[in-house]
Amino acid sequence: MAMTQNFVRLATEELDDKYLEYKQRKEEKIIKAEKLEHFSYTIFHGYH
C-alpha cells in the first residue's frame, strides 16, 4: 500500500513539474510575442 502511494506521489510530482515547465515556456513565448509585436508596431508607426 505504501509503495503504491509513494509511486502515485512521485508520478504526480513529475506531472506538476512538467506542467509548471510547460506553463513557464508558454508565458515566455507570450512575452516574446508581445515584445516582437511592440517592436514591429514601433518601427511601422515610428517612421511614417
Q: List pLDDT tens digits, range 3-48.
A: 788 888 888 999 999 999 999 999 999 999 999 998 888 888 876 5
Query: Would you say residue 1 has pLDDT above 80?
Result: no
- How far the first Cα of the chain sits from its last, in Å, is 71
Determine the 3-state secondary structure of 20 from DSSP: helix
pLDDT at 33: 93
Q: Which three cell numbers stand for residue 47?
A: 517612421
Higher pLDDT, 2 or 45: 45
Find all residues with CB under 8 Å of 7, minimum gap 6, and list them: none
